[in-house]
Structure 1
Amino acid sequence: MTVDGMTVEVIRARRLSGVAHGFLGRRGGLSVGATAGLNVGLGSLDDPAAVAGNRRLAAAAVAPGATLTTLYQVHSADVVTVGAPWAEADRPQADAMVTDRPGVLLGILTADCAPVLFADREAGVVGAAHAGWKGAIGGVTDATIAAMTALGAHRERIVAAIGPCIARASYEVDDGFLRTFAAADPANERFFAPARAGHHQFDLEAYVAHRLAAADLTRIEALGLDTYADEDRFFSFRRATHRAEADYGRQISLIAAG
């Protein structure tokens, strides 16, 4: 998508065809250095003017004229129902949003965690969730679905797409991490593969898909894109940490009602 002469990559989900949405990475944008590309992270060390410009580019690439609405994300299972957009300075602390208001563009920021976009086309209700491991096991996707149904959506009509996130091959965790998931449900061990001694590879995308299916959603799409491995296309907190870099960028996933 070309916006103001800048080419911004917008990744679409087939399941969400006909709904204004997109999973954006780092391609395009105004930022330079460690956060080069389409960095939309207000908490990064990037030039605030570049971040603001990137956020405008992202919104225009997906839903021109809509008002971008984001959260102060805290790895919770909290959901906000958006009646009207708020100023960036007034962002509530939560990790998911739902709305039925046309012209509102929901935006979730990630840098390895799983962004999940939801839509019930018939009801005109959409949702967006930030599902890191804490939010995923805490039920952020379940809470998003419940908030959508409170606005008139029906589970049997809700479509969900899981965007770019860290893949199992790139996500090494320790024994304590596995025990946390096994304590919640022993069957969760199937989302872990063996790694070096005392460690495992965790499949966040598959776990999120499982939670969506367990919530009675039947139309689920997982894009299978690894943020850690594809440096040219995506930002990654874990990759930046492994390299001891001073900063990292954030990408955005967007969806609008109406």
Structure 2
Amino acid sequence: MNVTVLHTAALDGLPHGFLGRRGGVSQGVVAGLNVGLGSQDDRAAIAENRRRAVEAVLPGAKLVTLHQVHSPDTITVTAPYPDDARPHADALATAKPGLLLGVLTADCAPVLLADREAGVVGAAHAGWKGALGGVTDSVVAAMEKLGAHRERIAAAVGPCIARASYEVDEGFFRRFCEADPENERFFLGGRAGHHQFDLEAYVGARLAAAGIGRVELLGEDTYANPEAYFSFRRATHRGEADYGRQIALIGLPA
């Protein structure tokens, strides 16, 4: 099975892609293209999956990933990091050709960004905590320091857990509404004391509010598509001992 790469019109012409679980060598509960170094998967399988991911998007590029911690922090990248020395952060930006920026997700929202004219790209891992904390604002600011202009930036929000699959409690709902009363629009009422949260729409709205010129949402639900995507919440609900991570990639050709 070949690696499945989702491309977006917003980033057309640039090496990029949102990858799922198809096309990898991992076995068991993380079967497929698991690229998560934080999983219990065989390290050789993870390395092969990462190699396949790079070859599917920008052959010969150097992959750069992070030790993701649900922060709003962005790292500006000029060279790859060893796997055991990845910075603790949740977004990357670069103007250097030949690097492939990667963010890993398993329900959180992957965001890929580019200002073609400036030759600057970015990638962000936006779970609810990072999204609320401003990780998308942070990556846009880092890209601007490299010469990008936010009105020229195109962004795409990739596969993540959809509102129908994302039940949250009253405390979660209040946290968002206290940050901004208008955030209530991203929630639908659910069973007593619970709400359904639209992470993708929230991340898209944050990008639009930041002045990004074009924002595209893929509308792919990681939780509801077990054949196509890894999902932390689904693995938890199934009582599985581990879960895989998929990767979203963007780079500048060398």
TM-score greater than 0.5 by the shorter chain: yes
1:158 aligns with 2:135: no
Alignment partner, residue 87 of structure 1:
82
Q: Could you report, residue by residue, the CA deviation over 1:150-187 in whole angstroms, capped at 9, with x for unpaired residues?
A: 00001111000000000000000000000000010011
Q: Could you report, residue by residue, the CA deviation over 1:178-206 in whole angstroms, capped at 9, with x for unpaired residues?
A: 00000100110010001000000000000
Alignment partner, residue 103 of structure 2:
108
Structure 2 unaligned regions, length at least 5: none
Alignment partner, residue 211 of structure 2:
216
1:233 aligns with 2:250: no
Alignment partner, residue 55 of structure 1:
50
1:143-182 equivalent positions in 2, closer than 5 A: 143-182=138-177
Deviating more after overlay: 82-91 vs 127-136: 82-91
Alignment partner, residue 3 of structure 1:
none
Pairs aligned (count): 253
Separation in 2, partners of 1:41, 1:154: 32
Q: TM-score, normalised by structure 1?
A: 0.97
Q: Which residue of the other structure, out of 118, 122, 132, is the alignment partner of 2:127?
A: 132
Letter in 2 for 1:187: E
Q: Could you report, residue by residue, the CA deviation over 1:14-55 in whole angstroms, capped at 9, with x for unpaired residues?
A: 110010000000001000100000000001111111011000
Query: How far apart are residue 218 of structure 1 and its match?
Result: 2.7
Q: Which residue of the other structure, out of 38, 44, 49, is the alignment partner of 1:43?
A: 38
Separation in 2, partners of 1:154, 1:25: 30
Q: TM-score, normalised by structure 2?
A: 0.99
**Is the partner of 2:25 in helix, strand or coil?**
coil
Separation in 1, partners of 2:196, 2:215: 23
Percent of matched pairs sharing the same residue: 70
Alignment partner, residue 197 of structure 1:
192
Separation in 2, partners of 1:16, 1:198: 40
**Is the partner of 1:213 in helix, strand or coil?**
helix
Displaced runs of 4 or more, over 6 A: none
**Is the partner of 1:7 in helix, strand or coil?**
coil
Structure 1 unaligned regions, length at least 5: 1-5
Deviating more after overlay: 166-175 vs 43-52: 43-52
Q: Which residue of the other structure, out of 118, 123, 143, is the alignment partner of 2:113?
A: 118
Separation in 2, partners of 1:90, 1:43: 13
Alignment partner, residue 202 of structure 2:
207
Q: Which residue of the other structure, out of 241, 250, 253, is the alignment partner of 1:255?
A: 250
1:66-77 equivalent positions in 2, closer than 5 A: 66-77=61-72
Q: Could you report, residue by residue, the CA deviation over 1:101-156 in whole angstroms, capped at 9, with x for unpaired residues?
A: 00010000000000000000011000000000000000000000000000000111
Separation in 2, partners of 1:206, 1:248: 25
